[in-house]
A and B are shown apart, each in its own frame.
Chain A
């Protein structure tokens, strides 16, 4: 029983970290209609930022400044935000699919850097010994995970509150107006490009924060953490949960990460270890089928976007 509870804590830590990334994607896609196919790139930038800044010095690797983790997380958000700025400026004025292709490209490029720029990223060996905040307080592994869970909950709670406030503010209304009808919003004097860029950068910063937390939680980040499968998983989480709804984003993250972890565990128990590569393939196929079914049968997801109307308006 203790083991199950301990695993649940570990599971929830990861699920909520992905929930944070999913919230970032929800701001970009759910509210601003920006199609980001490079989620993993922004996640990886955040993860490596924390790895480089907060880990102890190591031979042959740049960085290792032993900075406190909270500072590393702020830097992770900044680094991912700047990356988003670089991708967003040339593409956000163009047709929406161009952003999709450009974000896909930046993620591929970041993956190559993760794999090949060894003095920065450690290449295939990755970067190790990434600390967690306040590690000295906890000797017990379970207690340490419990503390990390509490911290992640606090961060995701703050992010949720901030996003809800933002999307319900005039700023959020303009964002949705641009998503629905750019011409109409522009004709009212709203600078569609500026609003999109803001949403894109803030969303990417949340993805970077998620990446930073992940690096700190696992203690390791390597080129395998920059694969496009993660982008896909986050998208499935958002679509399953319901895009345009922040509760849906978090719920989808927990549900899909649950399905992913369970199917991984199930196949590891049922299949012999020689089939590990094929079991991994089956996991992706399973999640792909879930996405296909949700897209076809319930495109709004578990909880869809709420209808927003002006106070006093008659709801049809």
Chain B
């Protein structure tokens, strides 16, 4: 294993431990007596104590933290207060919607941004470039949940092509599932695609001015060949970095978009659990989302090193 990978792995583990401590402190220690909070101020002390024992929150904080981490590592996330089902089952069921939604949004973002960014760069300072930049500037300014509402207005209320919300589940077939996630995925993708378009355009323009590109052209490599063989590979370095950050934004964005479309995903589960004061579910879901963000950034760092030879230490 390379030293680079080892160092990044250490940072990854340290960040995950740090995140778990913050989540635990905020959602487990700060609220004080969680059992009292769940049952309300009128509950009898005996009932509160019984619930505390049932939830395991009568133990000292350090022991509770240890139990939680052990549970996280073994897949035992405890029992939901509101649903009376294992949190792991709830989360797993909801992830089957949230992960495909985020992946669909990321795919749309990547395809649109790379196409539009390269298109704009190839027409630098011409009408096509100005048009793409203008549209992307508007795209960045649009709140994704508002764009979602506009899409519902157009495609669900007026054209009636898509349903205004809900998810039939994957049992009804992949087509039905993908169709019901299409508007949410587009809503999530619009802002990120606008940002990535601008990054792609400026990265392609910057690399196009490098000496090695001029040399390639002087050697007789075609414009297209230079673009695909030399420019794009090097331009992908900042693009991939931003894509990693964007995937994290998309995951967090699902919390809002799932609520716009009433989708039973992880984001909506968190939201409903806050209403139900079901802190054990909130804690595990927030930790899961934070962990996904951290892991995605870790993967981006590795990809960064693979693509850009200058990042690699000698031993990679």
Same complex origin of A and B = no
Which residues in B have some Cβ–Cβ distance to A below 8 Å? Answer: none
Which residues in A have some Cβ–Cβ distance to B below 8 Å? Answer: none
